[in-house]
């Protein structure tokens, strides 16, 4: 049989390593993050010890996947969908508007300390594009045309999104231009 | 297709797919359940999978004595009215078995009812005879929207696991594989490799352990077909997986679902527990020595994990980096053992093939691409949602007849004019409006520089500049590149920088050639499908909309 070039450690059956198996690493990280909100170094060390894996391996895996947070997230988060369907329906403009409104830079995980704005690839709600997530609540079919601006602002107000300056930070933070690869 | 024959006890089916739930469907269902408890008339209320027309959600189907009526854009506060309407309507003595005809008669009864609330509901009725519903051929989605995905009894009553039982009792693994081979089924994940051949390759490896893996890491932006199967009819997928396991001699399987689909994960896990409890995966009487079990594994937000070798690495708890092939997973996959990897839709099709018979299934669709395919129609199109049609259906039928044509986006320049259809996500391409007569099958789309992909279909209107769209996909590829091979890691960044020159009108004439050369290099030398396909959106828009790039060349 041909042996997979990457299966040196994984070739061992789970029981041979004792305790939980190494292939449970991602599940374990999900569980911890759910409990603690994010993954600090201690949490990663704990997982490494528990699964008998080198810390380097655990950090390597945790840092590979987008959903694992290795920095403390802001208390409130807003994610704007830039999937293709949302993009075609004007999500790029929505992202700019949000960045201005919140006074934070797109994809800066620290935001203004309270709110951050990130973009996501696709939320799978393409039928209701354009969509947005505010603190785990999905807002769908957002009105984006110019004459509907008050309507949009109203929906964002209802969702609890603050307007820049409301928490004492200058809105011009939003004017920092992101690096090319960060720009949508 | 989502209509049911007339029934004496009325029933309300409330769409509980992620899309409708987020648009208020979850609250609506609770409201319907509360109102039905207080109602004097007998009425049943249940949550179901996707009812297709996602753009008009939340949707509720009412099955009454006169057939089925569908309502859209419902507000949670309309729950009471809906229950009142559904439970009060008198039985129609003449209603025939054809639900659609009956539905029309039902409309007259609705009209006769008084009250502003009822008039509002009436205005929210959707025509089930419109092409969006009438032109669909539901096979994979045949039970989606009809049954409660959390109730295994309903799935069983609709025929789930009957083909698995038949395989175990009447067919040898070789016969099952032969049936799949003769059906001509091709992988629905994008590449279109004949499924029967993959199954044979795995089955014919040296004796030993085998695994079967379902790729449910639906990451393409604009794709939500697999999610609908997972959320709407999870038992169909479990049956397909178990049949595949029997056919190739696997005893263990995995379903790898992306973490962005929490509802799909929860429903899948519940379905799995129910199936295990009933001993459907072997161990029961009359099924010989077949024993099978599987786990649901959850991703963590990495598009590249849709690539098969990366997916296997992720299931084993590692970074989702692809590795060179050969050896192919069919030879050496999970823990070095031969592993079958199939997409959700591929496996969900298997029970249908066995039920209809290979020849009958192969007769649907086109000769080189038999069967049906589910597409997720979205973007600048009037009717957005889930569409299942025979392969070989023309793009025009899908986009203009079923989808209702380009959406008139208020205030958007160029809105209302269909410019192109994007298929295959970041790995696919754009098909210009002039080529809409193209039949949708694997070869025709590839000939146009696009690809079938997993089934995402995004309609682009004249308001979207093509270089900007290509840049958008390149940003996606940059962010999702695993970083293992240089052409993909660095090439995509350079491609984005080149595209920026066109977008900012500072490109030179020579940049067009540079763009093409770099695209070819990244395509030809990247390690895995992600990198190899990353230039496709650029190449296809360059091919069909070159003048838009030329317009980005600086005037000196």
Query: pLDDT tens across A27-52, in order?
Result: 999 999 999 999 999 999 999 999 99
Quick check: B34 pLDDT over 50? Answer: yes
Q: Do B318 and A6 touch (CB under 8 A)?
A: yes
Q: What average pLDDT does this structure show over B441-457?
A: 93
Quick check: B414 pLDDT over 90? Answer: no
Quick check: B277 pLDDT over 50? Answer: yes
Chain A partners within 8 Å of B259 (Cβ)? 30, 67
Per-residue H/E/C for B324-382: CCCCCCCCCCHHHCCEEEEEHHHHHHHHHHHHHCHHHHHCCECCCCECEEEEEEEECEC
- Band of residue B287 on the pLDDT scale cut at 50, 70, 90: low
Which of B23, B301, B456 lies nearest to residue A66, judging by beta carbons? Answer: B301
Please state which of the ranges B17-21, B242-246, B414-418 shows the lowest mean pLDDT. B414-418
Chain B partners within 8 Å of A89 (Cβ)? 379-380, 409
Q: Tell me the angle at which helices A55-64 and A41-51 cross, rounded to the nearest 10 degrees.
A: 120
> What is the structure's pLDDT at A147?
87
Per-residue H/E/C for B133-190: HHCCCCCCCCCCCCCCCCCHHHHHHCCCCHHHHHHHHHCCHHHHHHHHHHHCCECCCC
Per-residue H/E/C for A105-159: CECCCCCCCCEEEEEECCCCCHHHCCCEEECCEEECCCCCCHHHHHHHHHHHHHC
Dist. CA B200–CA B178, nearest whole Å: 9
- The whole-angstrom distance between A44's CA and the closest CA on chain B is 14
How many Cα atoms sit within 13 Å of B82 on the Cβ side? Answer: 34
Dist. CA B255–CA B342, nearest whole Å: 10
Task: Locate the chain A residue with the closest alpha carbon to B489.
Answer: A181
Name residues whose C-beta falls within 8 Å of residue B209's C-beta, 6 or more positions apart in sequence.
Answer: B250, B251, B252, B335, B337
Helix (H) or strand (E) holding B15: strand B11-15
Task: Locate the chain B residue with the closest alpha carbon to A137.
Answer: B22
Q: Do B415 and B408 touch, CB atoms closer than 8 A?
A: yes
Structure tokens at B348: 């969900």
Per-residue H/E/C for B376-414: EEEECECCCEEEEEECCCEHHHHHHHHCCCECCCCCCCC
Q: Do A46 and A23 touch, CB atoms closer than 8 A?
A: no
Task: Locate the chain B residue with the closest alpha carbon to A147.
Answer: B411
Question: pLDDT tens digits for B141-185?
Answer: 999 999 999 999 999 999 999 999 999 999 999 999 999 999 999
Dist. CA B284–CA B274, nearest whole Å: 15
Q: Do B482 and A66 touch (CB under 8 A)?
A: no
Interface test with A, best of B300, B327, B478 (most A CBs within 10 A): B300
Quick check: A168 pLDDT over 80? Answer: no
For chain A, give me the number of helices (H) and strands (E)? 7, 4
Chain A partners within 8 Å of B22 (Cβ)? 125, 128, 131, 138, 140
In terms of Cα–Cα distance, which of B354, B488, B509 is closest to B426?
Answer: B488
DSSP state at residue B213: E
In terms of Cα–Cα distance, which of B23, B532, B550, B9 is closest to B307?
Answer: B532
> What is the structure's pLDDT at A8?
36
Question: Any bridge partners for residue A106, and if so which?
Answer: A117
> What is the structure's pLDDT at A5?
36
Question: pLDDT tens digits for B216-270?
Answer: 999 899 999 999 999 999 999 999 999 999 999 999 999 999 998 999 999 999 9
B252-257 and B418-423 strand pairing: unpaired
pTM of the predicted protein model: 0.90
Q: What is the dihedral of CA B364, B369, B371, B377, to 10 degrees?
A: -120
Name residues whose C-beta falls within 8 Å of residue B127's C-beta, 6 or more positions apart in sequence.
Answer: none
Q: Do B65 and B10 touch, CB atoms closer than 8 A?
A: yes
Percent of chain B with pLDDT over 90: 83
> What is the structure's pLDDT at B114?
52
Q: What average pLDDT does this structure show over A151-166?
A: 87
Quick check: B313 pLDDT over 80? Answer: yes
Average pLDDT along chain B: 92
Helix (H) or strand (E) holding B60: strand B60-64
> What is the structure's pLDDT at B89?
57
Question: pLDDT tens digits for B315-353?
Answer: 999 999 999 999 999 999 999 999 999 999 999 999 999
Q: Do B52 and B20 touch, CB atoms closer than 8 A?
A: no
Q: What average pLDDT does this structure show over A13-36?
A: 75
> What is the structure's pLDDT at B97?
42
> What is the structure's pLDDT at B410?
61
More confident residue, B286 or A90: A90
More confident residue, A167 or B329: B329
Quick check: A79 pLDDT over 50? Answer: yes
Q: What is the dihedral of CA B159, B161, B164, B165, to 10 degrees?
A: -80
- Band of residue B105 on the pLDDT scale cut at 50, 70, 90: very low
Chain A partners within 8 Å of B297 (Cβ)? 26-27
Chain B partners within 8 Å of A1 (Cβ)? 205-206, 208, 331-332, 336
> What is the structure's pLDDT at B286?
55
Q: Which of residues 113-132 of A touch B (CB under 8 A)?
A: 120-129, 131
> What is the structure's pLDDT at B87?
85
Q: What average pLDDT does this structure show over B420-431?
A: 94
- Band of residue B132 on the pLDDT scale cut at 50, 70, 90: very high
Chain B partners within 8 Å of A4 (Cβ)? 323, 327, 332-333, 336
Q: What average pLDDT does this structure show over A98-113?
A: 93
Q: Which of residues 67-96 of A touch B (CB under 8 A)?
A: 67-68, 82-85, 87-90, 92
Residue A43, phi-psi category: left (phi > 0), alpha (psi -120 to 50), beta (remainder): alpha
Please state which of the ranges A6-10, B88-92, B475-479 shows the lowest mean pLDDT. A6-10
> What is the structure's pLDDT at B502?
97
- Band of residue B90 on the pLDDT scale cut at 50, 70, 90: low
> What is the structure's pLDDT at B415?
61
> What is the structure's pLDDT at B254?
97
Q: What average pLDDT does this structure show over A163-184?
A: 49
> What is the structure's pLDDT at A98?
95
Dist. CA A148–CA B382, nearest whole Å: 19
What angle (nearest 5°) sits at the alpha carbon of residue A18, between those of residues A17 and A23? 60
- Band of residue A164 on the pLDDT scale cut at 50, 70, 90: confident
Q: Do A147 and B313 touch (CB under 8 A)?
A: no
Q: What average pLDDT does this structure show over B368-391?
A: 96
Q: What average pLDDT does this structure show over A108-130?
A: 89
Q: Do A37 and A31 touch, CB atoms closer than 8 A?
A: no
> What is the structure's pLDDT at B117?
81
More confident residue, B108 or B555: B555
């Amino acid at each position: 049989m041909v042996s997979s070039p990457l299966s040196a450690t994984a070739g061992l059956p789970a029981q041979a390593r004792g305790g939980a198996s190494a292939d449970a690493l991602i599940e374990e990280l999900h569980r911890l993050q759910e409990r603690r909100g994010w993954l600090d170094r201690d949490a990663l060390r704990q997982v490494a010890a528990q699964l008998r894996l080198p810390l380097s391996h655990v950090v390597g895996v945790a840092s590979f996947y987008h959903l694992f947070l290795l920095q403390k997230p802001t208390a409130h988060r807003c994610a704007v969908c830039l999937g293709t369907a949302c993009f075609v329906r004007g999500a790029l403009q929505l992202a700019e508007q949000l960045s201005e409104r919140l006074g934070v830079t797109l994809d800066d995980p620290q935001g203004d300390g309270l709110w951050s704005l990130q973009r996501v690839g696709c939320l799978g709600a393409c039928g209701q594009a354009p969509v947005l997530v505010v603190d785990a609540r999905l807002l769908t079919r957002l009105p984006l045309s110019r004459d509907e601006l008050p309507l949009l602002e109203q929906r964002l107000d209802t969702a609890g999104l603050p307007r820049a300056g409301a928490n004492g930070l200058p809105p011009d933070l939003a004017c920092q231009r992101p690096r090319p690869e960060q720009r949508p | 297709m989502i209509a049911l024959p007339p029934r004496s006890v009325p029933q309300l089916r409330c769409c509980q797919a992620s899309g409708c739930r987020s648009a208020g469907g979850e609250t609506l269902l609770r409201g319907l359940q509360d109102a039905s408890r207080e109602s004097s008339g007998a009425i049943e209320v249940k949550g179901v999978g996707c009812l297709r027309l996602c753009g008009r959600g939340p949707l509720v189907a009412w099955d009454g004595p006169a057939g089925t009526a569908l309502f859209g854009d419902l507000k949670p506060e309309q729950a009471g009215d809906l229950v009142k309407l559904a439970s009060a309507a008198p039985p129609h003595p003449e209603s025939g078995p054809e639900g659609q005809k009956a539905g029309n008669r039902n409309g007259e009864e609705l009209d006769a009812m008084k009250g502003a609330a009822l008039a509002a509901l009436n205005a929210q009725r959707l025509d089930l005879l419109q092409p969006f519903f009438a032109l669909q051929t539901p096979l994979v989605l045949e039970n989606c929207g009809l049954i409660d995905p959390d109730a295994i009894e309903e799935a069983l009553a609709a025929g789930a696991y009957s083909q698995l039982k038949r395989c175990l009792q009447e067919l040898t693994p070789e016969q099952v594989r032969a049936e799949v081979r003769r059906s001509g089924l091709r992988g629905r994940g994008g590449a279109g490799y004949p499924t029967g051949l993959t199954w044979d390759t795995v089955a014919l490896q040296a004796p030993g352990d085998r695994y079967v893996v379902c790729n449910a890491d639906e990451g393409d932006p604009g794709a939500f077909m697999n999610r609908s199967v997972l959320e709407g009819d999870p038992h169909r997928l479990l049956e397909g997986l178990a049949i595949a396991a029997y056919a190739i001699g696997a005893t263990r399987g995995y379903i790898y679902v992306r973490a962005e689909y929490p509802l799909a994960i929860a429903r899948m896990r519940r379905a799995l527990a129910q199936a295990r409890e009933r001993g459907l995966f072997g161990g029961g009487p009359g099924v010989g020595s077949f024993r099978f079990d599987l786990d649901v594994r959850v991703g963590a937000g990495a598009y590249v994990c849709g690539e098969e070798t990366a997916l296997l690495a992720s299931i084993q708890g590692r970074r989702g980096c692809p590795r060179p092939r050969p050896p192919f997973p069919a030879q050496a996959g999970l823990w070095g053992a031969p592993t079958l990897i199939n997409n959700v839709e591929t496996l969900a099709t298997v029970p249908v093939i066995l039920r209809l018979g290979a020849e009958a299934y192969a007769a649907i669709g086109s000769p080189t691409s038999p069967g049906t395919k589910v597409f997720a129609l979205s973007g600048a199109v009037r009717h957005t949602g889930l569409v299942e049609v025979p392969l070989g259906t023309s793009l025009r039928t899908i986009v203009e007849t079923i989808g209702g044509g380009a959406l008139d986006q208020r205030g958007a320049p160029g809105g209302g004019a269909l410019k192109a259809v994007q298929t295959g996500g970041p790995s696919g391409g754009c098909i210009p409006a002039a080529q809409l007569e193209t039949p949708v099958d694997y070869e025709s789309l590839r000939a146009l520089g696009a690809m079938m992909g997993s089934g995402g279909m995004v309609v682009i209107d004249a308001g979207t500049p093509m270089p900007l769209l290509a840049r958008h996909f390149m940003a996606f590829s940059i962010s999702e590149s695993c970083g293992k091979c240089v052409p993909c890691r660095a090439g995509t960044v350079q491609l984005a920088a080149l595209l920026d020159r066109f977008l900012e009108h500072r490109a030179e004439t020579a940049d067009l050639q540079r763009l093409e050369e770099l695209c070819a290099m990244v395509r030809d030398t990247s390690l895995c499908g992600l990198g190899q396909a990353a230039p496709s959106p650029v190449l296809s828009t360059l091919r069909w909309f070159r003048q838009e790039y030329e317009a980005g060349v600086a005037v000196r």
